Structure 1
Amino acid sequence: MIGAGEFWSLTLALGLGTFLIRFSFLGLLGGRQLPGWLLLHLKYVGVAVFPALIVPAVLWPAATGGETEAPRVIAALLAVAVGLRFGPVGAITAGLAALYTAQALL
């Protein structure tokens, strides 16, 4: 365990760090027009981050001790297929419905 002073120092340092990261985009660049090449690259950030968050939970879920389960894979594949047609909200909805249905049936 760490002491109370160390805990609050670390909490304040992390809070300041996250504030500075956000301020660098919102405060410094918020009122300016960004160049076209940067806007083009920022458009793909969500496409890169979403799979990076989901794939470990599908292939190596902590809830099962790292063993891949068929319901998770089925739900992920269905979510990808629906997402290609209906976008992120459709993918999330279909993935959740498929996961709970597959877990109940299998």
Structure 2
Amino acid sequence: MDPQITQSGPEIWTIIAILGVGTFLIRFSFLGLVGRRGLPAWALRYLRYTPVAVLPGLIAPMVLWPEATGGAPDPARLLAAAVTMAIGVLTKSLLFAVAGGAATLYTALYLV
């Protein structure tokens, strides 16, 4: 049998408070201490690519291994991702891309 570890209410709130202070200090080290100074041009150039690097890593697992299908690839989600990408590239509009992808996903799920 696995022993269960139980914490009381004050212990849990203490842990939450300590973790909250820790994450605040990590963020403050970047935003509070360096926030008033200008960043070098090379750093700003690299920071422009952050969303392009992070978003595919967040979205790809939801498209390729969705929880709704038990981790199996789903044609409806693959089609919606392709349509979203195409609309985004053609129109350069996030709103149109998301709306077109959502409409494609719900239509494909309804038809399949």
- TM-score when normalising by structure 2: 0.83
Q: Which is richer in helix?
A: 1
Name 2:45's counterpart in structure 1: 40
Give me the CA root mean square deviation: 1.6
For 1:3-22, what per-residue CA distance to the aligned partner results, in whole angstroms no more than 9, with x for missing partners?
22331122112211221232
- Tell me the amino acid that sits aligned with residue 73 of structure 1: L
> Which moved further from structure 2: 47-56 or 76-85?
76-85
User: Counterparts of 1:68-87 in structure 2 under 5 Å?
Assistant: 68-85=73-90, 86-87=92-93
Q: Which sections of structure 1, spanning at least 5 residues, go unmatched?
A: none
For 1:44-72, what per-residue CA distance to the aligned partner results, in whole angstroms no more than 9, with x for missing partners?
11011111111101111112211111110
Number of equivalenced pairs: 106
Greater C-alpha Rg: 2
Measured in 2, the distance between the counterparts of 1:13 and 1:55 equals 33
Measured in 1, the distance between the counterparts of 2:95 and 2:53 equals 16
Deviation at 1:27, TM superposition (A): 0.7
Pick one of 26, 45, 54 that aligns with 1:49: 54
- TM-score when normalising by structure 1: 0.87
Deviation at 1:24, TM superposition (A): 2.0
Q: Does 1:92 align with 2:98?
A: yes
